[in-house]
């Protein structure tokens, strides 16, 4: 993967890959150019590929930690159909 705009770009990439919210605590600002290599195969596949989190830690030196905390959510409590001319 080729990326830029670390952190918001990398935080967003992490959120997509992990399918979970990601909060950036690095304090890094600015733009960075980097390459990240990982495997999309299952971890038990015999290809010696790195999963996303391991690749981020080993290649970029950033550790992903699972934590509980506040998360923004949108709640839709009611939906109405729009009347049509028919």
Instruction: State the total domains in the chain.
Output: 1
Categorise residue 48: left if φ over 0, alpha if ψ from -120 to 50, beta otherwise: left
Number of H helices, E strands in the chain: 2, 2
pLDDT for the residue 7: 53
Mean pLDDT throughout 9-35?
77
The answer to whether the CB of 36 falls within 8 A of the CB of 1 is yes
What does the pLDDT look like over 45-86, one tens digit per residue? 555 667 878 888 888 888 888 888 787 889 999 999 888 887
pTM: 0.56
Residue 30: which domain range?
Answer: 1-86
Q: Could you give the CA distance from residue 50 to residue 42 in angstroms, rounded to a whole number?
A: 10
């Amino acid at each position: 993967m080729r990326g830029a705009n670390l952190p918001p770009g990398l935080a967003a990439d992490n959120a997509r890959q992990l399918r979970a919210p990601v909060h950036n605590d690095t304090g890094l600002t600015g733009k960075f150019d980097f390459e990240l290599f990982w495997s999309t195969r299952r971890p038990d596949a015999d290809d010696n590929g790195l999963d996303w989190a391991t690749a981020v830690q080993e290649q970029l030196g950033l550790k992903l930690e699972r934590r509980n905390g506040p998360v923004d959510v949108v709640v839709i409590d009611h939906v109405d159909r729009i009347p049509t001319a028919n």
